Structure formats: structure tokens, C-alpha cells
């Protein structure tokens, strides 16, 4: 069929075909559109690995890129443990898990309730995991949980007193891995263990604070003093705190690899855990949509109006997950020293020297530990006070009838 048509075009010209010139104009347009979409979609993972029997812990695995990473690993047979702030009895969440099991044909998908904005919730889960004897199997941790305040938004604080973006993007990951460290180091030497951190190219605009004093949780200026000590805090801007949280996370990731590598195993075998940092690129996720719409209805209307443009230049969540899947399955990353930075399914260099600066890593680690320790003490006091309130109320309620009886008895004696 195409040959006679081509022959007709050469013999009689393009105008001999119905709508011939219209097609001739449309084909280059759609070809350019296809090439642009292919370019913006980025690289696709071509590596495969047998994931059957491997236990994968995932944060942020119920939406966006994390959901696609969860689905991709589950399809390959991995046992998935989702850390979610959703109540495990929530019927919508139960349906989500059941649908995921059905879609992937994998029944080994479970969840644990962990509120990553609550340091106590993280500790409850992580200590329970570490205290298990013998050590539970853990082949991979994928850290996809992420949040960002829309442009122009105001800072929101967690119950622990941390800014929300900083708490979830950095402090939660630091706290979780710090406690899980013994369980990670206890994995058998023949096991390929990987810890995958999700980051963003905005890390290049981050600015780490001066660690000479103060706490990462306080909101004091550098010139303010309390108990004779000065402290410093970076002025809040949504883009600034997000970029700084990603920069700090990447510096911690490299420090954590050094922390693991420095451990002397009882069996004298080399450390078998590798840290990998992944930049998935700009992706159409709920977080990106919230960022582009400024968290407003008029912004959502503009987003819908510009949808063809966003469809063209932003990856789908599935395409954004490709580098995560590559980091999880590429064989070469199961060897070596770890600390790789991947983008578009290939290794790239860090563009900020602070990430590999050992002094910055030590200071960041130290002040993060101090901050968490101080906040957990305050949280423990707060929970103790809240526990006392019902007990005091019950004691007062029981005391009132006794007081009334005593007053009644005293009146009767006086009457006699």
C-alpha cells in the first residue's frame, strides 16, 4: 500500500493526495514534538535484578515517584515494607495495599505506621526493628519521602519544634538511619545492601548554617543570646529551606557511608552496604503540582490551562522512578565503596564541595544529634505531663465525693 502512494507522489505531486500538503506540514510538527518528549522523559532503566526474597523498606512509597518505585520493585518480587503516616486501619489505605498486591501479583507488601515528622514515632518503629533477635533481614532502604512549602507560603512547625520541610526532608532520614545503623551493619556479608537517598537539583542553591553554635530546631537570630550562648538560623524562604534540606541530606548520605565503612565487622568481612544518591529530575508529582500552583486554586487553574506544556517538559512519575530502579538493580553498585550520585541512570559529580567536606559532615552530624536529643527530652516531658492530666483529673473526681461525705458527716456532728 505505501509503495503505490509514494509512486503517485513522485509521479503526480503531493497535491494529488487528499490533504497531502496538510499532512506534509503536520508530520514535521509531530516529529519535533515526539523528539522533545523523548528528550524530557530522560533515561530509562535497562538493568534487571532478581529481587525475590529481598526486603525493601520505603518511605514516601504511596504517591508520586515513591509509588512507582514501590510498584517497580514489587513487580520484580521484592518484599515491600511501606513506612506511612496513614493509620493502618484506614479503609482507603487498606484498599490501596490490596490494589497494589493485585496489580503486581505480590502478596508480600505490608506497611508500618511511622509519622516521619514525629521524632518519637520514628524512634518507636526503629528501636522495635533493631531490638529484634536475630536481626531482621533488610536488603534495601529507599528514602522517597519529601515535602516542600509552596512559594510565598509560611513556615509550619512540627510538634517537636522543627520546620516542616527541614524535619521531613532531612531530620527524619537522619534520625531513622541513625537508629537503624546496627541492624544495617548486622546484615550477613554476602548480602548486597543498598540505601538510596532521593534528592533534587535544587540542592545547588542550598546554604548550610554556621554550625558554631545553636540548634537546628530553634528560631533565634545570630545576635540573640540565651544562657550566654549565641545561635543562628537561616531566614525562612520556601525555596531556601528546601534547597538546604537537600544539600544537608546529601552531605549526611556521604557521612553515613563513611560511618558504615568504618565499622569493623566481627567476621572481619568488608562492609556490604552502599549508599546511593538519586536525582530523579523534574517530575509531575503531587509535590511538584503543589509547588507550581503555589498551593492555590487560581494556581491550579493556571496549571490545568498550561497542562500541555507541563506534560511536555515534566516527566511522568514512572519516568522519574527509572533512576531509582537503576540504583536498586544495577550490578556495579553492589560493589565498591559507595557514595555514588546518579542522575538519568548514570553517575555524575557533586556540584557543591560541602557534600564531600569531612569537616562539614562532622559538624552537621554532631549538631543534628544534639538537636534530636534535646527535642526528644522535651517531647518526653510533654508526654509525661499529658499522661498526668487524666490521672490528676481522675484523682480530683474521686476526691470530690469523699470531700462531700466528710462535710456531710461534720454537719451531722454539729447538729447533734
How far apart CA 321 and CA 358 sit, in angstroms, is: 30
Q: Within its chain, how far is the Cα of 198 from the centroid? A: 6
Q: Phi, psi at residue 31, to the nearest 5°?
A: -65, -45
Do strands 193-198 and 79-84 pair parallel, antiparallel, or not at all (unpaired)?
Answer: unpaired
Active-site residue (options: 54, 71, 246, 315)? 246
Task: Cell 538546604: give the residue.
Answer: 244
Contacts 24+ apart (CB under 8 A), 387-390: none
How many CA atoms are closer than 13 Å to the CA of 276, on its beta-carbon side?
A: 33
How far apart CA 325 and CA 68 sit, in angstroms, is: 9
| Neighbour order of strands in the sheet with 79-84 | 109-113, 79-84, 55-59, 140-143, 193-198, 273-279, 340-343, 346-347
3-state DSSP helix/strand/coil % of the chain, to nearest 5: 55, 10, 35
Q: Within its chain, how far is the Cα of 134 from the centroid? A: 28
Active site residue 246: yes
Instruction: Let me know if 63 is exposed, middle or buried by CB neighbors in 10 A (0-12, 13-18, 19+).
Output: middle
Radius of gyration, alpha carbons of the chain: 28
Catalytic positions, written as ranges: 246
Amino acid at each position: 500500500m505505501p509503495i503505490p502512494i509514494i509512486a503517485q507522489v513522485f509521479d503526480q505531486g503531493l497535491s494529488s493526495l487528499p490533504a497531502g500538503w496538510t499532512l506534509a506540514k503536520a508530520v514535521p510538527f509531530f516529529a519535533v514534538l515526539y523528539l522533545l518528549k523523548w528528550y524530557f522523559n530522560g533515561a530509562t532503566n535497562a538493568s534487571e535484578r532478581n529481587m525475590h526474597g529481598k526486603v525493601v523498606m520505603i518511605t514516601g512509597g504511596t504517591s508520586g515517584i515513591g509509588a512507582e518505585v514501590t510498584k517497580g520493585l514489587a513487580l520484580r518480587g521484592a518484599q515491600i515494607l511501606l513506612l506511612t503516616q496513614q493509620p493502618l486501619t484506614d479503609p482507603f489505605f487498606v484498599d490501596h495495599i490490596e490494589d497494589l498486591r493485585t496489580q503486581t501479583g505480590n502478596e508480600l507488601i505490608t506497611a508500618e505506621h511511622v509519622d516521619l515528622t514525629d521524632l518519637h514515632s520514628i524512634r518507636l518503629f526503629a528501636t522495635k526493628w533493631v531490638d529484634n533477635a536475630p536481626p531482621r533481614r533488610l536488603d534495601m532502604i529507599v528514602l522517597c519521602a519529601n515535602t516542600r512549602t509552596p512559594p510565598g507560603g509560611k513556615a509550619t512547625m512540627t510538634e517537636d519544634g522543627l520546620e516542616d520541610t527541614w524535619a521531613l526532608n532531612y531530620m527524619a532520614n537522619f534520625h531513622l538511619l541513625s537508629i537503624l545503623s546496627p541492624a544495617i551493619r548486622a546484615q550477613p556479608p554476602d548480602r548486597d545492601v543498598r540505601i538510596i537517598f532521593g534528592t533534587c537539583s535544587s540542592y545547588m542553591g542550598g546554604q548550610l548554617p554556621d554550625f558554631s553554635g545553636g540548634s537546628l530546631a530553634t528560631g533565634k537570630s545570630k545576635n540573640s543570646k540565651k544562657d550566654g550562648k549565641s545561635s543562628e538560623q537561616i531566614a525562612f524562604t520556601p525555596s531556601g529551606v528546601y534547597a538546604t534540606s537537600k544539600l544537608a541530606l546529601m552531605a549526611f548520605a556521604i557521612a553515613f557511608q563513611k560511618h558504615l565503612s568504618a565499622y569493623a565487622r566481627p567476621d572481619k568481612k568488608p562492609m556490604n552496604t552502599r549508599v546511593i544518591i538519586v536525582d530523579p529530575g523534574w517530575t509531575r508529582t503531587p509535590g511538584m503540582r503543589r509547588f507550581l500552583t503555589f498551593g492555590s486554586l487560581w494556581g491550579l487553574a493556571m496549571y490545568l490551562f498550561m497542562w500541555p506544556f507541563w506534560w511536555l517538559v515534566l516527566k511522568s512519575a514512572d519516568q522519574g522512578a527509572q533512576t531509582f530502579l537503576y540504583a536498586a538493580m544495577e550490578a556495579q553498585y553492589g560493589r565498591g565503596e559507595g557514595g555514588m550520585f546518579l542522575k538519568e541512570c548514570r553517575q555524575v559529580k557533586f556540584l557543591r564541595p560541602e557534600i564531600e567536606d569531612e569537616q562539614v559532615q562532622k559538624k552537621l552530624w554532631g549538631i543534628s544529634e544534639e538537636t534530636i536529643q534535646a527535642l526528644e527530652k522535651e517531647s518526653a516531658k510533654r508526654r509525661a505531663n499529658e499522661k498526668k492530666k487524666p490521672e490528676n483529673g481522675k484523682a480530683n473526681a474521686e476526691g470530690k465525693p469523699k470531700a462531700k461525705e466528710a462535710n456531710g458527716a461534720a454537719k451531722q456532728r454539729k447538729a447533734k
